[in-house]
Amino acid sequence: MYDVFTRTWWRENATGTWPNGLEPCPGKRRYHARGVSEEEALVMCKAWNATHKPGRLSRKMEYEKA
């Protein structure tokens, strides 16, 4: 069983100490589904990532073992 979530991979850093004003920082997980099969999780992630631009903070859908 797997849990499916989105999160960002960067955060704004206004101090100028990081290139492009972005600092690496895995964000809080926001769950979309829990307890699904790996095949279902993979389909969900591919579909979501194909229809949502990651944007400046690189928000993407992922999954992890429950």
Per-residue model confidence as pLDDT tens digits over 42-57: 999 999 999 999 999 9
Beta strands 22-24 and 2-7: pairing type?
A: unpaired
Q: Work out the percent of the chain whose per-residue pLDDT is above 70.
A: 100
Number of domains making up the chain: 1
Domain around 39? 2-65
Burial class from Cβ neighbours inside 10 Å (0-12, 13-18, 19+) for residue 3 reads: middle
pLDDT of residue 63: 98
| Strand ranges (E), the chain | 2-7, 10-12, 22-24, 30-36, 60-65
